[in-house]
Amino acid sequence: MEYFIQQLINGVTLGSIYGLIAIGYTMVYGIIGMINFAHGDIFMIGAFIALIVITALGLTISTGLGMTIVALIIVLVASMVISSAYGWTVERLAYRPLRGSFRLAPLITAIGISIVLQNYIQIAQGARVKPLQPIVTGGYTLMTGGGVDGNFVVQISNIQILIITVTFVLMAIFSLLIAKTSLGRAQRACEQDRKMASLLGINVDRTISMTFIMGAALAAVAGLMFLLYYGVIDFFIGFVAGVKAFTAAVLGGIGSLPGAMLGGLVIGLIETFWSAYFSVEYKDVAAFAMLAIVLIFLPQGLLGKPEVEKV
């Protein structure tokens, strides 16, 4: 039982990171009906920016608590701002010029930009993995006992608490933003009918750009959390995490913010439990198999709405 609870904590932590990335996918798809396959690489860039700023600030485990909090806030803001600029650039280069073309064109362009961003980081930062010494340490013991020798300890670390808390706070903020603000109303109007929204005075181009910027900012937060949690990154993490997050968005119901978060949690839990109880080499197979099963019996995803054809 103790081992199960420990893996549950680990799975929720990993799923929270996937959920943050998945929200960016589902926001873009909800408005323009296209998948931004460069979004995973924005997550990767956010992680590298965070690493660069942490190194520049000289942040280490020996830094005092107050200074660590201030420094992490600076890192977070810098990562979100610069990553948002990349997200805005992707929208301007890959999507806006091709918005009226056939749907495969921007998809191919986004994949091309994904490759460009990967190689750009590889050239700029090198192909080797970039390590980071632990900064947020410590934790709490929840349970003891169980295991083979009866000494298994269930722990939740401070970084796990930070990741889970930040994820659900951001989820609540973005849900309120979309439900209660003028930008959220504009996004929902563009989701229903972009042409009618434009006729009613909504700046569709600005609304779509802001959606890309918001998604990129969330990806940057996920990049920082990933860096602090695992302590190692490379130029390829965006592809792997991007595919997992896209799977989470589809699993939860593409276009649904709560669905994206739920899908991320499900993927994270499947990966973690499969790695714990079965072979770690096949954890990705288990996650994608679950996606296939859900889409066979529930094509709209867990929380998605059935698509109604307009005639």
248 domain-assigned: no
Does 44 have pLDDT greater than 90?
A: yes
Percent of the chain whose pLDDT exceeds 90: 41
In a domain, 299, yes or no: no
In the chain, what percentage of residues exceed pLDDT 70? 95
Within a domain: residue 277? no
For residue 178, pLDDT over 60 is answered with: yes
As a whole number of angstroms, the distance between CA 139 and CA 100 comes to 52
Q: What is the tally of structural domains in the chain?
A: 1
The backbone region for 96, taken as left when phi is positive above 0, alpha when psi lies in -120 to 50, beta otherwise, is: alpha
In a domain, 146, yes or no: yes
Q: Determine, yes or no, domain membership for 276.
A: no
Dist. CA 50–CA 43, nearest whole Å: 11
- Residue 309 pLDDT > 70, yes or no? no
Mean pLDDT for the stretch of residues 46-66:
86
Is pLDDT above 50 for 311? no
> Is pLDDT of 147 > 60?
no
Is the model's pTM score more than 0.75? yes
pLDDT of residue 83: 95
CA–CA distance, 59 with 135 (Å, rounded to integer) = 7
Q: How many CA atoms lie within 13 A of 161 on its CB side?
A: 11
Q: For residue 26, what are the domain limits?
A: 19-236
In angstroms, the CA 99 to CA 101 distance is 6
What pLDDT score does 37 carry?
Answer: 84
* Better pLDDT: 30 or 268: 268
pLDDT of residue 306: 64
pLDDT at 257 over 70: yes
| pLDDT tens digits, 181-206 | 998 899 888 888 888 989 989 999 89
Domain membership flag for residue 46: yes
Mean pLDDT taken over the chain: 87
**Which stretch, 55-69, 70-84, 184-198, 276-290, has highest mean pLDDT?**
70-84
- Phi/psi of residue 139, each to 5°? 175, -165
What's the mean pLDDT in 174-178?
A: 86
Averaged over 111-130, what is the pLDDT?
A: 92
Q: Over 60: is that where the pLDDT of 308 sits?
A: no
**What integer is the mean pLDDT of 102-111?**
81
Q: Own/partner pairs for 269-274, CB < 8 Å, 24+ apart?
A: 269/8, 269/11, 269/12, 269/15, 270/11, 271/11, 271/14, 271/244, 272/7, 272/8, 272/10, 272/11, 272/14, 273/7, 273/11
Give a yes or no: residue 231 inside a domain: yes
268 domain-assigned: no
pLDDT recorded at residue 193: 85
pLDDT in tens, 267-287: 999 999 999 888 888 888 888
> Which has more confidence, 117 or 174?
117
> Quick check: 8 and 164 in contact, CB under 8 A?
no
